Amino acid sequence: MLVRAACMLVINSVGTILQVSRRDNHTDWGLPGGGREEGESPLQTAIRELWEETQVRVQEKDCLLLHTGEEPRTRAIVATFLALEYDAREMGAVSDEGLVRWGGYRALLEGSFGQYNAQLLLRLKAIKNLLLPVTSI
């Protein structure tokens, strides 16, 4: 399975998700991400795209592969990573790709990549449910 694109899920301390709008539609929200460049690993792609689109920094050691699956619209295999630590001090409100914001999960489900994001959020919920008993001790 060849991963052709990657994105990064960044969740802040109040539970909102870092999102970027499409450059041609500022009401269509998704995760920062994009296509792999020659010689890049999926994780390197996700980190590069996160920086290019939001100016948020993350290091490889602070990322966890969350989900790999087919994006139904394009049929591309996409890897999504969860940023466990990040630096948003330089975060931009506007990027070359569109707007940047912290938002709720509903916008991700309603956007162009809603089907893929639904799979991703179900995976995140399953992981969270597995960890809940451990963190409540």
SS3 content of the chain, % helix, strand, coil (to 5): 30, 30, 35
Global pTM value: 0.88
Least confident of 16-25, 32-41, 118-127: 118-127
Residue type, 127: I
Binned at pLDDT 50, 70 and 90, residue 136 comes out as very low
Between vectors from CA 135 to CA 80 and to CA 123, what angle results, nearest 5°?
Answer: 25
| Average pLDDT in the chain | 89
CA distances from 110 to 67, 102, 130 (A): 19, 16, 27
CA atoms within 13 A on the CB side of 111: 25
Alpha helix locations (H) across 42-111?
Answer: 42-54, 105-110
How many residues are there in the chain?
Answer: 137
Q: Which CATH architecture has domain 5-135?
A: Alpha-Beta Complex (3.90)
Of the chain, the percentage scoring pLDDT greater than 70 comes to 90
Contacts for 122 with CB less than 8 Å, ≥ 6 apart: none
Assigned token pair, 40: 């890049």
